[in-house]
Amino acid sequence: GYLTAISNLNPIYAQLRDTAWAEAQASGNLTPDPRLLANLERARSIPSKGKFALVDSGTQRLILFENAQVVDSMKVIVGTDQLPTPLIASTIYYVTYNPYWHAPDHLVRKTIAPTVLRQGMNYLRTRGYHVIDEWSETPTEIDPTSVDWKAAAAGSLHLRVRQDPGPLNSMGILKFPFPNPEDIYLHDTPGKELFEKSTRFLSNGCVRVEDAR
C-alpha cells in the first residue's frame, strides 16, 4: 500500500507510466524511450490532488483538473520557436482584473518603436501607450516627443512602455500571474481570432487563454 501511494504521484504520471509499461511488456522491449523518461520527470511536478491548470504547449491546450479529474479544457496560444513557453511549475495566488501591460524590451524594439517612426505619436495615444521612467505603481511619465525612437528601434535605447487597461490592452481583461524567474503568466487577449488557427505557436512566451473568465 505504501509503494502504491508514493508511486501514484498524479493521474498524468500514472497514465504515462502504466501505458509505457503495458507497451513494453507487449513488445518485449524493456528499454525506455528517452522521451518517456523526460516526460515522466516533467510530470512529477504536477499536483496529485486539488485544483490545477496544465498548459500543454505541444497541443496548445490548457487542461483544468480537480481531484485528479479533467473538468475543462480550452485552446491556448503559446510561444514561438524563437521565444518558446518555458517549463514552469508554480502557484497562482491571485488574478488581476483590467491589468496594465508592460511591454517587454524586445517588443518595444521590434514593434512599438518602428510603428511610432512610421505613424507618429498618434499610434501611442490610440493604443494607450505611455513611456515611463520605472516599473512601479507610481511612475513618472516621459514625454514621448522627447524620445529618440530611432535609437529605441535600433536597440541602443531601452524604454519602459506601459499600456493602459482597456479593450486594446494586450492582456485583455484578466491576467493570471504566478511566481517564476521568466516573468511568464497566463492572460486574456483581444485577438480572439487567432484561436481559430490550428497551430498557435504565436506568443512571446506567455500563454493566451481562449476563455479567461
Residue 79: how many other CB atoms lie within 10 Å: 18
Sign of the C-alpha dihedral, residues 4, 10, 14, 15? positive
- As a 3-state breakdown, the chain gives helix, strand, coil percent values, each rounded to 5, of 30, 25, 45
| Identity of the residue numbered 125 | R
**Which of 102, 106, 158, 206 is labelled catalytic?**
206
Of residues 36, 12, 8, 6, the one with CA closest to residue 24: 36
187 is catalytic: yes
158 is catalytic: no
What kind and span of H or E run contains 132?
strand 129-132
**Angle between helix 11-27 and 34-43 (nearest 10):** 160
**Which of 106, 130, 158, 187 is labelled catalytic?**
187
Q: Which residues does the annotation mark as catalytic? A: 187, 206
